[in-house]
Structure 1
Amino acid sequence: MTLPTHLIVGPEQHGVVEYGLLLAKHAGGRVVRFDNWTALPTDPREFPAGPLQIYFTDHLFGSSPSEALTRVLNLVGNHPLSVSFHDVPQLEEGADRFARRAKAYVELAQRADAVVVNSQHEARFFTQRLTQNPHPALRVVPLPLPQRVTTIKPSSSTPPNPPSIHDDIAIMGFIYPGKGHMELLDSLSKNPAHGIHSLRALGRIADGHEWLADDLRSASMRAGVDLEITGFLDPEELEQEMFRAGIPVCAHRHFSASGSLMKWISLGRRVLVADGPYPRELRERWPNFIVLVEDDAWPEAIAALPSDFCDPSDPPSDWTWAQVASSYHQVWMKEPFDVMKNYPLVGRNPEHWPLVSVVIPYFDNPEGLRAILRALAEQDYPGEFECVVADDGSSSPPTFIPEEYSFPIRVERQADQGFRAAAARNLGAGGARGEVLAFVDGDTIPSRAYLREAVRLPALDPRGLVVGRRVHGEVGDGNAQEPAWLRDAWLRTGNLTGADDTSWRFIISAVLTCHRQLFDRVGGFDTTIVGYGGEDWEFGWRAWNAGALFHHNPAALAFHPEPDWSGRQAGWEEACFQKNSETLALAKRITHPLARPEGVIFDDADVLVQLPDNAGEWPPGAAIAVITGWLAIPYVHVVVPASALHSEETGLFADDPRVRVVDQRPALGRINVDLQQAAWPTDRSSAQCIFGVDGLGGKCTVYTSSGRSGQEEIQVGTITTARYRSLEVAGHLSSTATDVFVTWNTAREPIRLERQFAGW
């Protein structure tokens, strides 16, 4: 995945600008920055080649909505365009203004290749106005919970709140008409017995609205409330004031996304919020943090608050910048942002149709085999093909009359040593002459176009691995369907063009086609798997890590007269026993967290962390701190150069198979972390970029902050996937490393291990 160039326009303190800069930091990609729209170039060739990511609110790009639209369309040119829309128009801002802004937003959305909004409320604005041409790539990515910049909480050292904490109200953010300050004061003025002492505005007056300060002071006098406008606060000052605040309030009525509301929640503060569609969305997600206020009934809502409302609690942590960045990556993995440039091959015909070997695993089913052979005789494949029947120890060999068919047929046999579908497929592939291998199960009957559709991609690119569409029903049955879980998978992944490191779960060997080169590089199926199921997922797992291009072609249709696995079981107990056997077999072979229980230690690692050769020069205790810090992350093994540890230090890990003290590096893991500095994740949340590296193109350069001020950014290492390295060796890469900024621990001074171990 090649990351887009982020075009960010506006002053640094603007919320949309802050959003763009933080997304670029966490998602990666080049940033092109302008303080004002007047500085923007007019020639789209002045931007780097490739896709653009724009953060659009009309007033940042022009003096009017139409001017902003014209300017954006002119500078974008033919670049693939992803737009994050902010301040989406709302009817409450006035009919004329709404109409002007809505027209600009809708026209820009129609030009964009991807549209991102922050709420379902905003999404409805577009879906209601794009009904003649629904946008294929509209995605809701909620605003993230901001990361704290300080750990300060209310304490005895913090200036005390007013005598009654319930009489101190705070509104955070820029002050402008409609933000809610005036509306709140007007509501209080209608109820002289409101009991509110002060309103603190944590922020400054927005440019161009300086007159509002006098109006607010007059309104506060009418309401009998002291008004304090703090002016600009730096991030640490702002958080301290938000911790000190009595009752947090978001009083603006007509908003479709709110960074200030998310900031309150990220600090563990419960908030009084003016009722509306967007606050209701957030309340569904975090019901303990939002109290809705209807019809400007602020005094009544305040009076009804519980006594502990103002006490900070543990904030939620389930929607951070890491998840937001991952959501954008999913957008950019689609066309036209998908820069692997492989999937345009899908649907094209090769110049040369290669010899295909159809491999059929077989066991005592002569009628089923004859049905498949008759279907193969009807194929419209433009090239030549052969058939290899791999007999898995049938009581008598398969029988047929070769002269009845226009294609060669051979039989390979192995002894009956249990259900050995993996070994049978390898047996058939070993006796095959074809450049492409098409695996079709002995109870699966291909349609006339099956081979032509299944072979296209592997014939064009040897990395291609195609899964056909196997429906359950008699041949020609128009009501025959795939299982629902597969239909959902194809829809969710765009027929696997959006595949990732979890998509091995959708590789079905009953209708699987791949190039001989890929099959041999992967090493074929795992012949040690005996019993029903799992061998295709395990093969798909290794194929993905080897750089395979997954594709589901629904036109490669085949019929399975019997029900799906779930419909063939005699009872729940038998089904559980069979599936559990498969699950246990795969847990030993697939290192991905989806295949393994977290608390079990395995010999092979999913994440392999390599300490550098100079780790022996780190300060005393640093290497131990790094190793133990990484072992706190599930699925991690650590490789340590023998020179990095003293003998007594080595003994600490003597009984832990996750730590390998070696002279040379062992085999790669699925994910590989090469450290340059003594660094380790502070917690699981800060390790998310490791498990998400596949969605970042497979390689990341990791930076973290260090130094006593926390302002020094240092490069601590790189993260790569086995898939990335396979593609790199084969010369197929089209993307470079993504820069990722994390909050990790670093050890640049000696460490007292007793403090590291027990916090002493």
Structure 2
Amino acid sequence: MNVAVTHLIVGPSEHGVTRFGVELAQAMRDNGFDTPAWRTPEPPPSGGVHLQFTDRLFGSTPEQAADTVRTLVRDIRQRGGRVTATMHDLPQPSDGAHHDRRRAAYAEVAALVDGVVVSSEHERALLAEGGVRPRRVAVVPLPVEAATAEPPCHQGPPTVGVFGFLYPGKGHAEVIAALAGAAPDVEILALGAPSAGHTDLVSELADDCARTGRRFRVTGHLGDADVPRALRSVTVPVAPHRHVSASGSLNSWISAGRRPLAPANRYTREFDLRNPGAVLLYPDTPAGLREALADALADPAMTWLPPGTTCTPTPAAAARQYADLLQRWHR
């Protein structure tokens, strides 16, 4: 007999983790799995619960996020259910001053729940390297929608596009620096809005561009219907975040039929091994990014996937992996 597992999804609808949770639950329902979703902080009345966890959605501090999960786990277990979680945005040393507090919060949550899912082998390694030891851990990679086959739709001066929320470390500054010697008509396009607390970053990046006579433009939040065309409209797509643990923006580029430039690191090499040729890896150095951008601007055709490209896992395959895993863990 199947076990009922409710997916608890919190946060604003535009947040990547929230979107992932909603889309996963829908994919599971579309593939025949009874998957109710719960969008409030209070637990459902009975049965098992699976959380989509990142500390920033569960509290204003890492400690508060852990406290929230502790209360949820207590209440759900009192009703006879188990609790599992997909962990996102795993702590890394690049978090800087917040790293130790985030690592401690993730370690506490991992100890509280009955099992943890992560989205890459890189993330599994980050858990171990940070001393975060869940009772059980499994890897289910982020699903990739089938690539569209529509032709390029770029018009006007060449653009280099970075997709996703703007925040320090996303890679916009590195792209600006790498284009310092490129033709001044190459525009840098930020496809997304500033994340909370980082609106000042827009003027800082625009000023950096202006010093070299280059234009920096921010689209603001893009609705679901607008994203594919926006991603197809840029001349060169780049996913320059150097410390990503699993990248939804990389998958979005691919779903739009693009082959984004990305720095070669543990995560992107893992993705490339699973989906050979779907990303254009460059050495993770300023010179590597500079040369990759120059090559792609000279030959933008290289940034398009061949028609019919399918990457793994598909949403249906990821839904089946989650369904099988959660049924085992919640029995």
Could you say what the CA RMSD is over the residues aligned between the two structures, in angstroms? 2.1
Q: Is 1:310 aligned with 2:311?
A: no
Match of 1:677 in 2: none
One-letter amino acid matched to 1:70: D
- Among 208, 212, 217, the residue aligned to 1:219: 208
Distance in 2 between the 1:212 and 1:56 partners?
A: 26
1:17 match:
18
Please state which structure has a larger fraction of its residues in helix.
2
Gaps in structure 1 of 5+ consecutive residues: 35-39, 339-760
The reply to whether residue 87 of structure 1 matches residue 89 of structure 2 is yes
C-alpha displacement of 1:215: 0.4
- 1:87-486 aligned within 5 A: 87-94=89-96, 96-130=97-131, 135-146=134-145, 153-154=150-151, 158=153, 160-162=155-157, 167-189=158-180, 192-193=181-182, 197-293=186-282, 294-297=284-287, 298-305=289-296, 307=299, 308-314=301-307, 315-335=309-329, 337-338=330-331
Residue 142 of structure 1 aligns with an amino acid whose one-letter code is P
Give me the TM-score of the superposition, normalised by structure 2: 0.88
Change (3 A) 1:152 1:125: closer
> Cα distance 1:195–1:274, how it changes in 2: closer, same or farther (>3 A)?
farther
Task: Classify 1:10/1:254 alpha carbon distance in 2 versus 1 (closer, same or farther; 3 Å).
Answer: same
* Secondary structure of the corresponding residue to residue 9 of structure 1: coil
Report the Cα distance in structure 2 between the residues aligned to 1:62 and 1:159, rounded to whole angstroms.
41
% identity of equivalent residues: 35
2 CA distance for matches of 1:277 and 1:196?
34
Distance 1:160 1:312, change over 3 A: farther
CA distance in 2, matches of 1:83, 1:195: 47
* Structure 1: 4+ residue segments shifted above 4 A: 193-196
User: What's the offset of the Cα at 1:127?
Assistant: 2.6
Unaligned runs of 5+ in 2: 29-33
Q: Secondary structure at the match of 2:281?
A: strand
State how far apart, in whole Å, the 2-side matches of 1:126 and 1:207 are.
Answer: 26
Question: Which AA in structure 2 matches 1:255?
Answer: V
Q: Which structure is higher in strand share?
A: 1
Structure of larger gyration radius: 1
**Count of paired positions:** 315
Relative to structure 1, the CA distance from residue 202 to residue 284 in structure 2 (aligned partners, 3 Å threshold; closer, same or farther) is same
Query: Aligned partners of 2:239 and 2:195: how far apart in 1?
Result: 17
> Quick one: which of 34, 51, 54 aligns to 1:54?
51
Residue type matched to 2:176 in 1? L
- Distance change in 2, residues 1:246/1:4 (3 Å): same
Aligned pairs (5 A) from 1:323-722:
323-335=317-329, 337-338=330-331
Q: Residue 6 of structure 2 aligns with which residue?
A: 5
Match of residue 38 from structure 2:
32
- Report the Cα distance in structure 2 between the residues aligned to 1:31 and 1:303, rounded to whole angstroms: 45
TM-score, with structure 1 as normaliser = 0.40
Distance (whole Å) between structure 2 residues aligned to residue 8 and residue 49 of structure 1 = 16
Question: Which letter maps to 1:264?
Answer: W
Matched-pair contact (CA < 8 Å) for 1:145–1:266: yes
Provide the rounded CA distance (Å) in 1 between the counterparts of 2:213 and 2:176. 9
Superposed CA deviations along residues 656-703 of structure 1, whole A, max 9, x for unmatched, are xxxxxxxxxxxxxxxxxxxxxxxxxxxxxxxxxxxxxxxxxxxxxxxx
By how many angstroms is 1:153 displaced? Answer: 2.2
Instruction: Name the structure, 1 or 2, with higher relative contact order (CA <8 Å, separation 6+).
Output: 2
Return the alpha-carbon distance in structure 2 between the equivalents of residues 320 and 161 of structure 1: 34
Q: What residue in structure 2 maps to residue 596 of structure 1? A: none
1:122 counterpart letter in structure 2: E
Q: Which digits, 9 at most, give the CA deviation of each residue in 1:211-252, with x for residues without a partner? A: 111101101112432111111222222211111111100111
Structure 2 letter corresponding to 1:296: P
- Paired residues of 2:73 and 2:113 also in contact (CA < 8 A): no
